[in-house]
Amino acid sequence: MPMSSAGPRPSVLFVCVHNAGRSQMGAAFLTHLAGDRVEVRSAGSAPADAVNPAVVAAMAEVGIDVSAETPKVLTVEAVRSSDVVITMGCGDACPVFPGKRYLDWQLDDPAGQGVDAVRPVREEIERRVRVLLAELGIAA
């Protein structure tokens, strides 16, 4: 059954420390697969200056351009206004509110790694995003 506390579209927030790798890939896959049927955000508890170039390259390999994305700082409001919050290694930095669905995806951090190290992380994120869409009742 689709969730909708914030309105007609479910809202999903991806969070990792730097908002330069895993959370950017999660947000990009969800946007790519769901289009405008899901409101998608990403943020980091300590945002980097730019998206990891290896992540940009790995996503380009599957036809998704994240080169124009910029890491954003995690805000309490972003969490409060999301139905689903997916953390990817940010630990206790993410505020918790009752009534939200929290998922913690344990994934290797691609920071400082090349494209070869990013690919398996990218593939696992895509798999998990597809599962999430099915749980939300949205066809990919």
Q: What is the mean pLDDT of residues 32-59?
A: 96
Q: What is the mean pLDDT of residues 92-105?
A: 81
C-alpha 25: how far from chain center: 6
Query: Residue 93's pLDDT band (boundaries 50, 70, 90)?
Result: low
pLDDT of residue 109: 87
Q: What is the mean pLDDT of the chain?
A: 90
For residue 30, give the amino acid letter: L
pLDDT of residue 6: 44
pLDDT of residue 2: 45
List, in sequence order, every beta strand (DSSP E) within the chain: 11-16, 39-44, 84-87, 101-104
pLDDT of residue 90: 66
| Cα dihedral 43, 113, 128, 25 sign | positive
Could you give the C-alpha distances from 13 to 2, 61, 98, in angstroms and in order? 16, 24, 15
